[in-house]
Structure 1
Amino acid sequence: MKIIEGFMVTLERNKPYVAMIFIQFVYSGMALLSKAAISKGMSPYVFVVYRQAFATLALSPFAYFDSKHATPLSCNLLCKLFLVSLVGLTASSNLYYVSINYTTATFAAAATNTVPAITFIMAVLIRVESISIKRIHGVAKILGSIISLVGAITLALVKGPSLHYMIPENQKYISQSLTMVHSKGDSVKGSLMMLSGNTSWSLWLILQGFIVKQYPAKFRLITIQCFFSFIQSAILAAAMERNLSAWRLGWDIHLLAVAYCVCL
């Protein structure tokens, strides 16, 4: 009994760290499922359209209750939300899912860890956040950011042999679909595209701080942004994907991946 109580106390004290580890597992699942769906032929542009559409529908009830005490949205704010959605949701999502077709799920999961570092660097550059190199926490932030970015670049440029040992023969096709890339050039291109998508996402995170101060109804803001991103992504997908069969969504890995990624 005392062991359980001690465990609960330790868990309570370290709740933020446990939550962060859990989130990393969730993002890893997103990389694996989206890689599997796109490797099986789903268009990344269509994937983003369905994801933003489902996200808009899922958030709409929360936005309704969140907007009861909110002031009306001005035209100026709607224009800002449209541009923020274009940069932070549409651009980052399309870059991420297009690039994952040329990279591995492992790199996709690892590259997500660069978002805090990129966000920190951008926040310092535009003077949203200050830093002191005379204090240990300031030095730790700088070193952590550098190590994170160096690790991502190393994963992008260094490619070793595929590991298929200890995998049953009937499951090897799954491993190949999650690790297969076209060539070293495509791998580097995909990695750079993914880092560009993470940069867009980091900029979106910074801009959210200014938007929320202007309009604090958070659920309503994110729902509107998802809706704008759905429209923008649909236009992009219609231009890039002319095959109508690519829009077909059945009870398979495609639907599972879209539904899972909606939660993120």
Structure 2
Amino acid sequence: MAAWKHYSAIIFVQLLMAVMNLLGKTAFNRGMSTFVFVFYRQVVATVFLTPLAIIFTRKTAPPTSFKMLVKIFMLSLLGFPINLNLQSVVVNYTSATVASAALNLMPVFTFLLTVLLRIETFRLKSMSGIAKLSGFVLCVTGVMLIALYKGPQLKILNFHQPFLQSSGNHNYSTESRLSWILGSFLVFVVAIFWALWTVLQGIIIKEYPSKLLLATLISLFSAFQCFLVAFIFESNFKKWKLRWDEGLLAVAYNGVFIAGLALYLQSWCNDKKGPFFVAAFSPLALVFTITIASVILGERTNLGSVFGCAFIVGGLYGVLWGKSRDNIPSGAPIESAGEDLKIGNEFNIEEGK
């Protein structure tokens, strides 16, 4: 009876992730600054998480040394002022679909980093090693397809009357084409940074096991850091003003539902079923995004994006399958590895994504 709860929760999390990119893309199309968006998002997350941390951790909070605060500060700097701003640029330059593809690349690069750090083993001549290498090649090929090949539009996925008309330019000029290519290749950077963030988070959380308080401190530090970044890069103070439009909705949604609800559900599934279970469902966000983007944003879905996303999803499952084989004794069923898989530490992109 409890099994359906895990499946329902993780599917709902992927739906929340898809809506996150869609709302962000809508806000950017309406002229909202990506830097201001990230700052306000972290402010909302801080306001939302702080009372919860005070209520639920005031008696159980671990001691926080100055050294630990410095570690959390640096973790916040890597994850949000740097990477979340880059991810927002990806959404702005390309599409919500391409941004969702970055989430599927993140577990692959997490595994590569754990191999380089000798946290994980890699044997090329084994079936698992071949699967991992093939999965990585498929993921890279997928991003290359998205960046360099658009192909014909798939009319079956395009709607003439979307609920929210995108104000983005659909006539792909040379400038917009270059922006698309740059944004597509930034997907690599975003995935690598999120992978590094996940590995470092796993190291820190062993020393500081209070997930709620850690997420709150990360949100608090990152709000201050993101303010400095926005202040430097966004000199037009008219763009700092929030209005009753898609920008305010996107900020509120990201701060509450992603930094709050999605984080809790993802952590719960991770604790109950293991990170393999969480990672295996991440392609659903991509499917939801492609399906909903046409209706909400009126985004044009091209054959190149569909092929690229298919390669990325196939590559992800190749790496996960290969990783699962590392944890199975000879002759044991593959399902037995689900609880024990450790790819980095966990796939909580939004712990504080």
Is residue 238 from structure 1 mapped to residue 231 from structure 2 by the alignment? yes
Q: Distance in 2 between matches of 1:133 and 1:62?
A: 46
1:108-119, aligned counterparts within 5 Å?
Answer: 108-119=99-110
CA deviations over 1:188-232 (Å, ceiling 9, x no partner) = 111222321222111111101110111111111111111111111
CA deviations over 1:238-263 (Å, ceiling 9, x no partner) = 11111221111122111111122223
Report deviation, 1:140.
3.3
SS in 2 for 1:101: helix
Query: Paired residue for 1:24?
Result: 14
Is residue 75 from structure 1 mapped to residue 69 from structure 2 by the alignment? no
Task: Determine if contact 2:45/2:219 at 8 Å carries over to the other structure.
Answer: yes
Task: Determine if contact 2:25/2:96 at 8 Å carries over to the other structure.
Answer: yes
Is residue 200 from structure 1 mapped to residue 193 from structure 2 by the alignment? yes
Aligned equivalent of 2:135, options 139, 144, 148: 144
1:213-228, aligned counterparts within 5 Å?
Answer: 213-228=206-221
Give the aligned CA root-mean-square deviation in angstroms. 2.6
SS in 1 for 2:165: helix
Higher mean alpha-carbon deviation, 153-162 vs 128-137, is at 128-137
Q: Distance in 1 between matches of 2:225 and 2:171?
A: 30
Q: Distance in 2 between matches of 1:72 and 1:96?
A: 33
SS in 2 for 1:160: coil
1:50-199, aligned counterparts within 5 Å?
Answer: 50-64=40-54, 65-133=56-124, 135-162=126-153, 167-168=159-160, 170-171=161-162, 174=165, 177=168, 182-199=175-192
CA deviations over 1:40-83 (Å, ceiling 9, x no partner) = 00000000000101111111123222242223311111111111
Structure 1 unaligned spans of 5+ = 1-8
| TM-score of the aligned structures, taking structure 1 as reference length | 0.85
Q: Distance in 2 between matches of 1:18 and 1:149?
A: 31
Query: Paired residue for 1:251?
Result: 244
Higher mean alpha-carbon deviation, 174-183 vs 146-155, is at 174-183
Query: Paired residue for 1:35?
Result: 25
Q: Distance in 1 between matches of 2:58 and 2:104?
A: 33
CA deviations over 1:78-97 (Å, ceiling 9, x no partner) = 11111111112221100011
| TM-score of the aligned structures, taking structure 2 as reference length | 0.65
Task: Determine if contact 1:88/1:200 at 8 Å carries over to the other structure.
Answer: yes
Is residue 49 from structure 1 mapped to residue 42 from structure 2 by the alignment? no
- The residue identity in structure 2 corresponding to 1:104 is S
Task: Determine if contact 2:73/2:221 at 8 Å carries over to the other structure.
Answer: yes
SS in 1 for 2:232: helix
SS in 2 for 1:250: coil
Structure 2 unaligned spans of 5+ = 259-353
Change (3 A) 1:96 1:180: farther
Change (3 A) 1:227 1:129: same
Q: Distance in 2 between matches of 1:246 and 1:132?
A: 52
Query: Paired residue for 1:6?
Result: none
Report deviation, 1:117.
0.8
SS in 2 for 1:71: coil
Q: Distance in 2 between matches of 1:250 and 1:236?
A: 21
Change (3 A) 1:15 1:119: farther
Task: Determine if contact 1:114/1:152 at 8 Å carries over to the other structure.
Answer: no
CA deviations over 1:99-137 (Å, ceiling 9, x no partner) = 221111221122221111111111111112223445544
Query: Paired residue for 1:5?
Result: none
Report deviation, 1:183.
2.3
